[in-house]
Amino acid sequence: MARRATSGLLFQGSDWNFATLSRTYDAIETIALEEMGLSIYPNQLEIITSEQMLDAYSSVGMPLMYQHWSFGKRFAYEEHHYRKGHRGLAYELVINSNPCITYLMEENTMAMQALVTAHAAFGHNHFFKNNYLFRQWTDAGAILSYMDFAKKYVMKCEERHGTAAVEAILDSAHALMDQGVFRYRRPPRLSSEKVRERARERLEYEEQTYSDLWRTLPQVAENRDPADAERDASERKKVLNLPEENLLYFLEKHSLILEPWQRELLRIVRVIAQYFSPQRQTKVMNEGCATFVHYTIINRLYDQGRIGEGHMLELLQSHSNVVFQPDFDDRRYPGINPYALGFAMMQDIQRIATEPTAEDRDWFPSFAGNGDWMETLRDAWANHRDESFILQYLSPAVMRKFRLFQLSDRSSDRFVEVASIHNERGYSAVRTALANSYDVAANQPDIQVMDVDLLGDRQLRLQHNVKHGILLDEGSRDATMRHIRHLWGYEVSLAGVDVQTGRTVYECSTAKAAD
Amino acid sequence: MPNFIDRRLNPKDKSLGNRQRFLKRAREELKRVIKEQVKSDRIIDVDAAHGVPMPTDGASEPTFQPSRGSGERDYVLPGNKEFSAGDRLPKPEAGGGGGGKGRPGRGESDDDFQFILSREEVLDLFFEDLELPDMVKLNLKETVTFKPRRAGFATAGTPTNINVGRTMRNSFGRRMALHRPKEKELTAITDEIALLEAAPEPTAKDRQRLKELRSELERIEKKRRRIPYVDPVDIRFNRFEQQPLPNANAVMFCLMDVSASMGEREKDLAKRFFVLLHLFLKRRYERIDIVFIRHTDEAHEVDEQTFFYSTQSGGTIVSTALEEMLRIIEDRYPSQIWNIYAAQASDGDNIIGDSEHCAALLREKLTKLCQYYAYVEIIDERETEIFGSTDNGTALWRAYRTVDGEKTNFQMTRIAKPADIYPVFRRLFARQPATRTRK
């Protein structure tokens, strides 16, 4: 170990300047790349003010975003809480792009800048580049230019069709953002500018050459036997690729009333939703990874004698704030802290790999005591999302540390029951339940397009696959349905079908709601 | 070495456009809230930033949400202290079912969420149904007026501000001090050279002289080049300082009939009338005092709270208020020092025989003391048809009409809705600011 090595402290005092930032970055980079073996996108570090941070918050963390009133609402909300002192701003913000953009707040002390650099520019960056979800579902190289295109395109549409018309489409599209994501099928890559341009031109051409004559062609004979109708239906479903889980995609491709520019707007919203979907599925891992990386790097720097003790105390204090987990009955309890859980699990993996107990050998025969904790972690970071990560790596030791317990809540009962706790009998149940609660796909309502009768009344039939009897909140459901109707152009109906029994639980439609 | 970019100097207010869109969307609701607040605020506070609760109408973003009260769920929570498997806990009675216990509520409660409208935005909403001309709105929103004032000279500035006289004086002095050869010397020498060169048979003496002259000419030209006619160090610019316009003091009298016939609607209209006058005065005067005088059959000076919110029973004698105002002016606001403005609101009721007295008071005394006297009679909306702006009406109205004809600084109107208020101020706003301010 190169203890007390060459150069002494990287920085002194709390003020930063670009020389110290850069020197510190180099020291961190050496540790991250050579000792931890991280693999990252090239970094771009941008210094911003607190106001700019608020701006970035309200445009969902993207440096470029089209204009919409909902971002103004979010901004007002964030600003209020910040001004009132209810919550501080994040020290940094990092964007999954190539080069990887990290925002550093100007108010941070130099020590914090070091922590944040290690956290975001190396921890998150490594995760973005290597995790399978991000690799498969997002395109870090293209996102910035796409957002640039999106912003300009929305602006162009507003000039051409008026702000109100564009806003109406975006409102409806935002309502379906959660249902605008492919979960199982790989979405097409973001095509280059040229290809998109060609597609748009084709659409416009088709629109210009639309001929009403086709509609007057003689219909098929009226009296068809039921078998025919059924065959037609299945044919139709095949053509439309039904059932379809991505409502935005379906509306974009098959809506009967939308004009090309409106379809393009839906596509923009859908692409953004898809871009963010891996982040929602990897909160614990992503934050855990970044926290673990900064913790390891900062400690190494301290061991090398490159960070003074005073700064180390400051960093440890803010680190422990970040990984603080209040108990469920604490007034501050906001849910399980992803930083805390992720960091604890990763530290535990390190421990199991180096100093396993007999219990660990039982639970994790594949890597207990293998000594190479870094390799084990890199493998976990690359190949899991929250659900599978917890399912595979949550150890009894961590469950005991957090004193996790499982509550089961049936709406028909007047009580909740403690189903299992952190003991021998409960470990696997608690672990499974926790993993399930991080399964985004399972926790969001599963709503799919089942059928649409293009030749008949053109009603769009949706089906809500009801899991565990959890229904939809009626007020927001009807409001959202109205948005779908707005995009589809004709009536929309929704049927809730229980997954286990196949029974229809409820039915509703925009036609009835309007009565 | 990473790529560091300093973004701190990037343009601010990236979200401003989004904020405006949001305000536009929530406009109706915000307008209602601001109206409520104007009703309850003090007059001088209207003109400031306001916090308003987050609008809900038109600003909701629905999505498909699982409903709280159905189905079976499992929660995993940290921090178990005493539970073991199989324990049953009663659900909290109200609220979102069992989930309320551990699950984070979706966002905190938004009840205490105030969001701040700037002064500008508040005034926009306040003005909306007053139907003010845009020029006036602009004038009212403008805060302090500055006037550029000459303040000496500067060595830097824009070319349009060059002070030629001063610059040339400097240039002249410098040329003298450095002995810059004059144009006259130069032409004398060139003339002599030309003369000598023109001579058909130059003598040796001439040639010698010519040589001397040429070297002299060269020396002079060199020196003239070295010492320019106008050098950058000579140039002076006029310097201007932005000086706030001198503002005098103003006092604003609010007179109102508070007898039982003045209801909620009447008082609300009256308040807007007073607020508008105050906004106008605030633009022009640095210090404004407000005096509230309410009257029934006797008049009192009261504070704002009492003025708007407490009622008093009794008859109506308008002249008492005018007399009270006169008394206060004599006491505290001598008209040589103060600009006096008065705004009177009433429903037109007056005791028989008093109206002529009022008109006389106005004609003889008050209109001479006041910069401006505005009177509004608040009438029922149904009555607008009957009393257009005709001469008939209450005795008070008829009496005041006679004053209206004589005095230019007296204005009166009947109002039934907010949009009617403006005309009474029209002449006030039409005038150029600072023409009649008395110091």
Residue of A179, A409, A418 lying closest to B73 (CB–CB): A409
Does residue A128 register a pLDDT over 90? yes
Query: According to the model, what pLDDT value does residue A201 have?
Result: 75
CB atoms A436 and B74 under 8 Å? yes
pLDDT digits (tens, 9 = 90+) for A249-308: 888 888 888 888 999 999 999 989 988 888 888 999 999 999 999 999 999 999 998 998
Query: According to the model, what pLDDT value does residue A475 have?
Result: 84
Residue A456 lies in a domain: yes
B156/A contact by beta carbon, under 8 A: no
* Cα(A93)–Cα(A102) distance, integer angstroms: 6
CB atoms A447 and B64 under 8 Å? yes
* Cα(A360)–Cα(A342) distance, integer angstroms: 18
CB atoms A411 and B97 under 8 Å? yes
Does residue A2 register a pLDDT over 50? no
Looking at the structure, tell me whether residues A452 and A416 fall in a common domain.
Answer: no
pLDDT digits (tens, 9 = 90+) for A81-93: 777 766 666 777 8
Q: What is the mean pLDDT of residues B137-156?
A: 71
**No. of H helices and E strands in chain A?**
23, 9
CB atoms B7 and A48 under 8 Å? yes
* Cα(B353)–Cα(A207) distance, integer angstroms: 81
Query: According to the model, what pLDDT value does residue B439 have?
Result: 34
CB atoms B68 and A473 under 8 Å? yes
- Give B178's DSSP letter: T
B106/A contact by beta carbon, under 8 A: no
Query: According to the model, what pLDDT value does residue A85 have?
Result: 67
Residue of A83, A420, A469 lying closest to B71 (CB–CB): A469
- Which residue of A47, A86, A476 to mutate against B (max B Cβ within 10 Å)? A476
Query: According to the model, what pLDDT value does residue B172 have?
Result: 93
Does residue B389 register a pLDDT over 60? no
Contacts with A147 (C-beta within 8 Å, 6 or more apart), sequence order: A62, A63, A64, A65, A272
Looking at the structure, tell me whether residues A454 and A428 fall in a common domain.
Answer: no
Residue A312 lies in a domain: yes
CB atoms A426 and B78 under 8 Å? no
Task: Rank A157-161, B129-133, B288-292, B295-299 by mean pLDDT and report only the highest.
Answer: A157-161
Annotate A470-480 with b (16+ C-beta within 10 A) or e (fewer).
bbbbeebbbbb
pLDDT digits (tens, 9 = 90+) for A35-46: 999 999 999 999
**Cβ(A269)–Cβ(A170) under 8 Å?**
yes
Does residue B433 register a pLDDT over 60? no
Looking at the structure, tell me whether residues A308 and A380 fall in a common domain.
Answer: no
Classify strands B237-244 and B146-154 as parallel, antiparallel or unpaired: antiparallel
| Structural domain for A46, as ranges | 18-131+282-316
Looking at the structure, tell me whether residues A69 and A109 fall in a common domain.
Answer: yes
Residue of A405, A468, A470 lying closest to B77 (CB–CB): A405
B27/A contact by beta carbon, under 8 A: no
Classify strands B287-295 and B249-257 as parallel, antiparallel or unpaired: parallel
Choose one of A415, A441, A467: the last residue of a domain. A441
Does residue B435 register a pLDDT over 50? no
To the nearest whole Å, the CA of A133 is away from the closest chain B CA by 25
Residue A492 lies in a domain: yes
Does residue A380 register a pLDDT over 90? yes
CB atoms B66 and A430 under 8 Å? no
Residue A291 lies in a domain: yes
pLDDT digits (tens, 9 = 90+) for A164-212: 899 889 999 999 888 888 877 655 555 556 666 776 777 777 767 666 6
Looking at the structure, tell me whether residues A112 and A28 fall in a common domain.
Answer: yes
CB atoms A479 and B103 under 8 Å? no
Query: Which residues, listed in sequence order, are joined to residue B166 by a DSSP beta bridge?
Result: none
From A347-356, B213-222, B426-435, the region with the lowest mean pLDDT: B426-435
Query: According to the model, what pLDDT value does residue B265 have?
Result: 82
* Cα(B255)–Cα(A76) distance, integer angstroms: 40
Q: What is the mean pLDDT of residues A373-390?
A: 92
Task: Rank A148-157, A505-514, B248-257, B312-321 by mean pLDDT and report only the highest.
Answer: A148-157
**Cβ(A419)–Cβ(B85) under 8 Å?**
yes
pLDDT digits (tens, 9 = 90+) for B77-104: 898 888 888 888 887 654 443 333 333 3
Query: According to the model, what pLDDT value does residue B106 have?
Result: 36
Q: Calculate the average pLDDT of chain A.
A: 85
Domain B249-430 has CATH 3.40.50.300: no
**Cβ(A275)–Cβ(A105) under 8 Å?**
no
- Which residue of B77, B110, B117 to mutate against A (max A Cβ within 10 Å)? B77
Does the pTM exceed 0.80?
A: no
Classify strands A100-105 and A92-95 as parallel, antiparallel or unpaired: antiparallel
Q: What is the ipTM of this complex?
A: 0.78
Following DSSP, what letter does each residue of B352-382 receive, concatenated? TTHHHHHHHHIIIIIHHH-SEEEEEEE--TT
Return the number of other C-beta atoms located less than 10 Å from residue B334's C-beta: 11
Looking at the structure, tell me whether residues A330 and A435 fall in a common domain.
Answer: yes
CB atoms B74 and A46 under 8 Å? no
pLDDT digits (tens, 9 = 90+) for B248-298: 677 888 888 887 777 788 888 888 888 888 887 777 777 788 888 888 888
Does residue B34 register a pLDDT over 50? yes
Looking at the structure, tell me whether residues A356 and A451 fall in a common domain.
Answer: no
* Cα(A110)–Cα(A112) distance, integer angstroms: 5
Closest CA to B355 of B317, B315, B409: B317
pLDDT digits (tens, 9 = 90+) for A221-257: 555 566 666 777 777 777 777 778 888 988 888 888 8
Q: How many structural domains comprise chain A?
A: 3
Looking at the structure, tell me whether residues A465 and A422 fall in a common domain.
Answer: no
Residue A386 lies in a domain: yes
Residue A457 lies in a domain: yes
Contacts with B360 (C-beta within 8 Å, 6 or more apart), sequence order: none
CB atoms A335 and B104 under 8 Å? yes
Residue A25 lies in a domain: yes
Looking at the structure, tell me whether residues A455 and A425 fall in a common domain.
Answer: no
**Residues in chain B within 8 Å Cβ distance of A45:** 2-5
CB atoms A45 and B3 under 8 Å? yes
Residue of B3, B18, B75 lying closest to A44 (CB–CB): B3
B313/A contact by beta carbon, under 8 A: no
To the nearest whole Å, the CA of B93 is away from the closest chain A CA by 9
* Cα(B344)–Cα(A139) distance, integer angstroms: 70
Domain residue extents for chain B: 16-57+114-128, 159-239, 249-430
Return the number of other C-beta atoms located less than 10 Å from residue B225's C-beta: 8
Show the 3-state SS of A59-124.
CCCCCCCCCCHHHHHHHHHHHHHHHHCCCCCCCEEEECCCCEEEEEECCCCHHHHHHHHHHHHHHH
Query: According to the model, what pLDDT value does residue A381 have?
Result: 93
To the nearest whole Å, the CA of A15 is away from the closest chain B CA by 16
* Cα(B150)–Cα(B153) distance, integer angstroms: 9
Looking at the structure, tell me whether residues A481 and A463 fall in a common domain.
Answer: yes
Residue A5 lies in a domain: no
- Tokens 């000792």 belong to residue: A35
